[in-house]
Amino acid sequence: MTLNEKLDILIRFMLDESDNKTLEIPVSPEAKKSLLRALTNVRPPNPISEEILKLQDEYLQEENQLRGIVDFTSFKRMKNGFYLWKGDITRVKCDAIVNAANGELTGCYLPCHNCLDNCVHTYAGMRLREYCAEIIRQKKRREPVGQAEITPGFNLPCKHIIHTVGPAVSGRLTRRHKKELASCYSSCLKTADENYLDNVVFCCVSTGVFGFPNKEAAEIAVETAENYKKSSGSKLDIAFCVYADLDEELYKTLLSCR
């Protein structure tokens, strides 16, 4: 079965499931991919047949191969077990990537939104949303800011995803914001060690739409990681994955002078 045929079946299933009788399946493969992503983004974590999940997994694994997989071992080593890479974290083959999650852990529901949480759930697939929803059901509360939860990577190249909810800064940056962000990093590192991982790749937690200033966020990330390694004796290899030129320059400076 071709990639295009898999797309048609998955889209038709999603449309039938939502009882949408009017929306037509587009002709172009790119338009089909966007539509499937949008339908997946808005779908609640309801049960789904293994037949459809198997087809989705085949499609996503093929699609992720086409997007290109980058191995952790190719990252630029800075010093003392720290690495830096600029690019899309959902393409990284490693033990764990860190996702900047929301309190429900179930991803971004905005169709085709370009936030990391949306991208992680899009390329991991629908099993991730259901898995995260079960975590919240068992907790019987939202995920607190500054903590971490680990899940399988499902269709992503990484083995695991560590989800953390960072602080949202809407006004003045406070001591509490800084403490909460530091807790995100230390909780993720502790979770990685508790699960016997060899490496972890961080996104820039709480920057972007969460409003945490980039410079202060980078300083907290590096300082917290260094302090954690010193105090715990952890042998974890830690990478910072950046997307913006500004963040790349900040981390280069921080990691080269330490």
pLDDT tens digit sequence for 200-238: 999 999 998 899 999 999 999 999 999 999 999 999 999
Calpha distance 70→47 (Å, rounded) = 32
**With contact defined as beta carbons under 8 Å apart, do 148 and 101 qualify?**
no
H or E segment to which residue 100 belongs: strand 96-100
Give me the sheet containing 82-86, strands edge to edge: 76-77, 82-86, 237-242, 199-202, 96-100, 160-164, 148-152
Q: Over the chain, what is the mean pLDDT?
A: 95
Q: What is the pTM of this model?
A: 0.96
* Both tokens assigned to 178: 């800084």
Handedness of CA 128, 238, 83, 101 (dihedral sign): positive
Looking at residue 206, its pLDDT comes to 96
